[in-house]
Copies of this chain bind each other. A is one copy, B any other.
Amino acid sequence: MCQLLAMTSKNPADIRFSLTGFRRRGGLTDDHIDGFGIAYFQPTGLRLYYDDQSAIDSPIAEMVSAMTIKANHTLVHIRKSDDSLLKNAHPFVRELWGEPWVFMHNGKMTIADMPDNDPIKQQASQHSTRYYQPIGDTDSEYAFCYLLNQLKDNFTQKPDHDTLNAFLTTQCRFLSTYGIFNCLLCNGDWLLAYANTLLFYVTRQAPFAQATLIDADVTMDFAQTNHDDDVITILATTPLTSDEHWQQLAVNECLIFQNGQIIHQDLPKPAIHLSIKTGLEIAKSA
């Protein structure tokens, strides 16, 4: 499976501290070596680079590690799969309502094994009149196209935040029934994080402390690099630092961030259990 990293911040910020540790999981501290991709939502537009090489070997990963690129949302993916084809490299991007939507996935789904009339598998039909079709052959891209086609089918223009958030949560819950589905989705305005099994986040804001990477012997004092009004949230498949409190998302929890902060949280409804009423409750209901 792959690993995900993202940063959402109030003011454009540099992801390189997190990237230093995360990149090492692409060949040094872990074996996610089948591709690397990074998407920056900068104030002037989307900057998206990907490679079929591992994060450790990729010249693109090396280049961005040497550059100061400040963005409000940054998404990074290291891939572990049966192939390292360029067409299957994350993040995936499609235009929706005049915006670039960027998607990346961690998990294992079973769309390829589904019958041809499966609603997600149908995205790739050669006779499809759908808006979006996969270019590669990953379950991840099938899921992304399904999500976008559902949006385009249901809304002729971008709906309000609450409607969109609820719709996206419902669709992610549906997709998670196809297997393991942890994803990050961003349109430059907000960042959606959906955890089916494994996703953590930490928010950094004043008073800033320092943190030490797990995958590299690097410590950073955020008080030296941030302004008092900065708010930065980092999301990752597993924590990147050893001395911060990383919050794990609940199973099938959906969080949406804007300016580094949570603007939408949707926890799944608890399963319904038969309960034995207490004497008091029986008395009340009688």
Give residues in A with beta carbon < 8 Å to B.
42, 44-47, 49-52, 59-60, 63, 66-67, 84-89, 94-95, 97-100, 124, 126-129, 131-136, 156-157
The distance in angstroms between the C-alpha atoms of A66 and B63, with both chains bound, is 12
A135 B100 Cβ-Cβ under 8 A: yes
Which single member of B44, B59, B86, B127 contacts A85 (CB below 8 Å)?
Answer: B44
Shortest beta-carbon distance, A89 to chain B, in Å?
A: 7
A133 B86 Cβ-Cβ under 8 A: no
The distance in angstroms between the C-alpha atoms of A131 and B132, with both chains bound, is 9
Chain B residues with Cβ under 8 A from A67's Cβ? 59
Q: Which residue of B lies closest to A136 (CB)?
A: B45
A95 B94 Cβ-Cβ under 8 A: yes
B135 A99 Cβ-Cβ under 8 A: yes
The distance in angstroms between the C-alpha atoms of A42 and B50, with both chains bound, is 14
B98 A124 Cβ-Cβ under 8 A: yes
A46 B98 Cβ-Cβ under 8 A: no
A127 B156 Cβ-Cβ under 8 A: yes
The distance in angstroms between the C-alpha atoms of A264 and B129, with both chains bound, is 27
Q: Tell me whether A52 and B59 are in contact in the complex, defined as CB-CB below 8 angstroms, given that A98-B124, A99-B135 are known contacts.
A: no
The distance in angstroms between the C-alpha atoms of A67 and B63, with both chains bound, is 13
Q: Which residue of B lies closest to A83 (CB)?
A: B44
Which single member of B88, B94, B129, B133 contacts A98 (CB below 8 Å)?
Answer: B133
The distance in angstroms between the C-alpha atoms of A99 and B124, with both chains bound, is 11
Chain B residues with Cβ under 8 A from A128's Cβ? 156-157
A49 B46 Cβ-Cβ under 8 A: no
Q: Which residue of B lies closest to A123 (CB)?
A: B98
The distance in angstroms between the C-alpha atoms of A126 and B156, with both chains bound, is 9
Chain B residues with Cβ under 8 A from A126's Cβ? 97-98, 157
Chain B residues with Cβ under 8 A from A98's Cβ? 124, 126, 133-135
The distance in angstroms between the C-alpha atoms of A157 and B50, with both chains bound, is 29
Q: Which residue of B lies closest to A158 (CB)?
A: B126
Shortest beta-carbon distance, A151 to chain B, in Å?
A: 12
B44 A52 Cβ-Cβ under 8 A: yes
Chain B residues with Cβ under 8 A from A46's Cβ? 86-87, 135
Which single member of B63, B88, B135 contacts A59 (CB below 8 Å)?
Answer: B63
The distance in angstroms between the C-alpha atoms of A131 and B149, with both chains bound, is 10
B86 A44 Cβ-Cβ under 8 A: yes
13 inter-chain pairs at a CB distance below 8 angstroms, sorted by A residue, are A44-B52, A45-B85, A45-B86, A46-B86, A63-B63, A94-B95, A95-B135, A98-B124, A98-B133, A99-B135, A100-B135, A126-B157, A128-B156
Chain B residues with Cβ under 8 A from A133's Cβ? 95, 97-98
Q: Which residue of B lies closest to A66 (CB)?
A: B59
A47 B86 Cβ-Cβ under 8 A: yes
The distance in angstroms between the C-alpha atoms of A111 and B129, with both chains bound, is 28
